Amino acid sequence: MGVFDLSIDYEYVFERITNFIRWYVGRVGAVGAVVGLSGGIDSSLTAKLLVEALGPNRVLGLILPEKGSTPKEDVDDALELAELLGIEHRLIDITPIVESFLSVLPKADKVVVGNIKVRTRMVILYYFANARNMLVAGTSDKSELLIGYFTKYGDGASDFTPISDLYKTQVRMLARWLGLPEKIVSKKSSPRLWPGHMAEEELGITYDLLDQILYGLVDMRMNVDEVARKLGVSRELVSGIWKRILANEHKRRGPMGVQVSGRSYGVGYRLPHIT
């Protein structure tokens, strides 16, 4: 355990999230939810919570691997979880779709190409959601949303986000409490956008430490120097995390517009009066 106590009231959090899922799906008149299953901790916990809230017959799991990036163990874990939860699931290889994009686009680096893969999955999720009058359940957690570690209009696109107020360490806690397979709970996180892609290596920090820094900055409302002193880490490290939070605000918001009429009904941003 770190300096900050990130423990949660499991029963309260479970009831809060499942009640929210039932309320929101019912509110919009959807028949259920679609979730992308990666074999990782976030999507697995989201699927479990959907099943607990709606029942297995109202949840569709889509497993969307890409050759060269998605390890067989992730596909196997996703299939095993879907069977364990008793939900309908489909396995769709996105490789030919991604290749069709790349065949007509100029060459780009692996991050740009990786984002095409994530957005391809988003299109497929919404295809099934639209066809079945279902909603797409997002699988992003609080840690990744705060620092912008997701693809805009890719895995960041969804109709509701059940675990968006749980840090990664809390996601693992709740998943273990709910009895998800330990091999999924303890698996290192990875977006799997290219071979050997691991989240902590790309971020340059462990989730345990990242969550401690985020909790201090966001939940405790401490400044950069206070968090650095409290955790015994460099100011540069904490400052870098804070800068990421600010720089990625645009990824957590919808498109911004400018208000030009007297009433905008919330669609535009009112600029300050300029003389």
Q: Residue 117 half-sphere exposure, CB side, CA atoms within 13 Å?
A: 23
Amino acid found at 180: L
- Tell me the pLDDT tens digit for each residue of 25-63: 999 999 999 999 999 999 999 999 999 999 999 999 999
- Locus of tokens 């957690």: 141
Q: With contact defined as beta carbons under 8 Å apart, do 163 and 33 qualify?
A: no
> Which pLDDT value is given to residue 275?
42
Strands 88-91 and 59-63: parallel
Specify burial of residue 197 (Cβ count, 10 A radius: 0-12, 13-18, 19+).
middle
Contacts of residue 158, defined as CB under 8 A and 6 or more positions apart, other chains included, come to 136, 137, 138, 139, 140
Q: For the domain 10-193, what is the CATH code?
A: 3.40.50.620
User: Helices 207-214 and 224-231: crossing angle, nearest 10°?
Assistant: 130
Res 234: pLDDT: 97
Q: What DSSP designation does 5 have? A: -
pLDDT in tens, 178-233: 999 999 999 988 777 777 777 788 888 999 999 999 999 999 999 999 999 999 99
**Residue 52: what pLDDT?**
98
Domain residue limits, the chain: 10-193
> What letter would DSSP give residue 10?
H
DSSP H or E segment with residue 52: helix 41-54
CA–CA separation, 4 and 197 (whole Å): 29
pLDDT tens digits, 118-162: 999 999 999 999 999 999 999 999 999 999 999 999 999 999 999
For tokens 């029942």, the residue is: 55
Query: What are the beta bridge partners of residue 258?
Result: 269
Angstrom distances, CA of residue 171 to CA of 98, 211, 241, 247, 260:
30, 11, 20, 25, 43
Residue 200 burial by Cβ neighbours in a 10 Å radius (0-12, 13-18, 19+): middle
Per the CB < 8 A criterion, the answer to whether 231 and 212 are in contact is yes
Q: What confidence tens digit (pLDDT) does each residue in 87-96 have?
A: 999 999 999 9
| Distance (Å, whole) CA 182 – CA 187 | 8
pTM surpassing 0.85? Answer: yes
